[in-house]
Amino acid sequence: MLDETFDALKSYDWGMDPKAILPLDEAVVSTHGDAAARKALEDRLLAVLRTDASRDAKDAVCRVLRTIGTVASIPTLAALLPDEKLSHMARYALERIPGPEAAQALLSAIPKVAPKIKIGLISSLEARREASAIPALQILLASTDPSVAQSAAYALGAIGHPEANQALAEAKPTLATKAAIADASLACAESLLAHGRKTDAKATYQRLLAGNPTKPVKLAATRGLQACSAG
């Protein structure tokens, strides 16, 4: 049955009966706990990504690799990242592969891709809460593309580490990025406070209040300061 499924992948299109590739999901379940069988499945899936199979077939493969992908999948998935049609699903799979290799694949692709794809890669690093990306994201805060700079700010806010907070504090906001940096700083402060770093959180709220903030930011920062003083 699985052999037939891989044959079907050679010409698979979303317009076809999805039952044709249903055995892939069944294979994920059946290989659970069987390292050799899981590796064999991963290898066969990666082989499909290296062919001229359709975009839809490769999307289906990446969905499965999001569940079973290991370090062995990273080079093949990384090779798809610059492809506008395939990048989304490749990074979707990489988001779930643990370890520094997957993060490095996403980071290494950022300088090589178009802004639209760059934003997607930043989003994946944000989803991973990838602390190792903080230096690169700090550089991207100064991007001349406002969408890239905003994405970098939001990613730093989601990561929430003290180093991410410092990167946001050192940023030079433009009219296009001021709101994103303020929102990200609030997110960082909230994370710092939740982890018991009241001094750092308090300093962030005070910094925001000193920067002529919008009414919503002023309200949030004021409440944050009150929370820092509570207990």
Phi, psi of 181, deg, nearest 5: -65, -40
Domain match, 89 and 148 both: no
Ranges of beta strands (E only) in 172-225 are none
Give the amino acid at 44.
R
Which of 128, 156, 187 terminates a domain? The answer is 128
pLDDT for 20: 75
> Do 92 and 146 fall into the same domain?
no
Say what the pLDDT of residue 231 is.
Answer: 60
Residues 58 and 151 grouped into a single domain: no
Whether residue 43 is found in the same domain as residue 98: yes
| pLDDT of 166 higher than 70 | yes
Residues 94 and 199 in one domain: no
Tracing tokens 């690799």 back to the chain, one arrives at: 65
> What is the domain extent for residue 21?
1-116+124-128
Domain termination residue (choose one: 103, 128, 153): 128
pTM: 0.90
The amino acid sitting at 201 is: A
Residue 204 to residue 224: CA distance in whole angstroms? 9
Mean pLDDT, residues 198-213: 95
In the three-class reduction of DSSP (H, G, I as helix; E, B as strand; rest coil), residue 223 is classed as helix
Q: Give CA–CA dist 54/147, Å, rounded.
A: 30
Mean pLDDT over all residues of the chain?
A: 94
Looking at 99, 128, 157, which one is the last position of a domain? 128
For residue 190, what is the enclosing H or E element? helix 178-194
- 90-133 per-position pLDDT tens digit: 999 999 999 999 999 999 999 999 999 999 999 999 999 999 99
pLDDT confidence of residue 8: 82
State what percent of residues in the chain have pLDDT above 70. Answer: 99
Distance, in Å, from the CA atom of 130 to the CA atom of 215, rounded to the nearest integer, reads 31
Number of folded domains that form the chain:
2
Residues 100, 134, single domain; the answer is no
Same domain, residue pair 9 and 105: yes
- 21 band by pLDDT with thresholds 50, 70 and 90: confident
Residues 112 and 134 occupy one common structural domain: no
Q: Residue 229: which pLDDT band, with cuts at 50, 70 and 90?
A: confident
Judge whether residue 152 has pLDDT over 80. Answer: yes
Q: Are residues 160 and 104 in the same domain?
A: no
Say whether both 1 and 101 belong to one domain.
Answer: yes
| Residues of the chain above pLDDT 90, percent | 87
